[in-house]
Amino acid sequence: MDLAKKPKPSGVCNLCNAPTDRREALNQRCSLVVNGRRCSGTIKSAVNALWDECESCHATGKVGTQECTECKGFGWKIYA
Ligand SMILES: [Zn+2]
Ligand SMILES: [Zn+2]
């Protein structure tokens, strides 16, 4: 199966590095909940961020028919 690669996320949290591709989330508080607490980071534009292709799904966001758990289906991970 030859899945298309996903576009790189447009935004990323400056604290937990969670990616997002919702433009309206930019400059808003991160909505990720970790251990029952909402992340206090802010979503910043990731246009100039460096992204690494997810090794598990090769930027397709899927492993077989399942969403890739490694990158939560985004296909990309922020380069850290
Ligand atoms: Zn966050
Ligand atoms: Zn992945």
Q: What is the pLDDT at residue 73?
A: 94
Q: What is the pLDDT at residue 3?
A: 78
Ligand nearest to the CA of 19: 1
Return the SS3 of 19: strand
Q: How far is the CA of 77 from the centre of ligand 2 (A)?
A: 8
Q: How far is the CA of 76 from the centre of ligand 2 (A)?
A: 7
Q: How far is the CA of 66 from the centre of ligand 1 (A)?
A: 24
Low-confidence stretches of the chain (pLDDT < 50) are none
Q: What is the pLDDT at residue 24?
A: 94
pLDDT in tens, 58-71: 999 999 999 999 99
Measured between alpha carbons, how far is 2 from 45 in angstroms, rounded to an integer?
A: 30
Which amino acid, 62? K
Within 13 A of 56's CA, how many CA atoms are on the CB side? 16
Ligand nearest to the CA of 15: 1
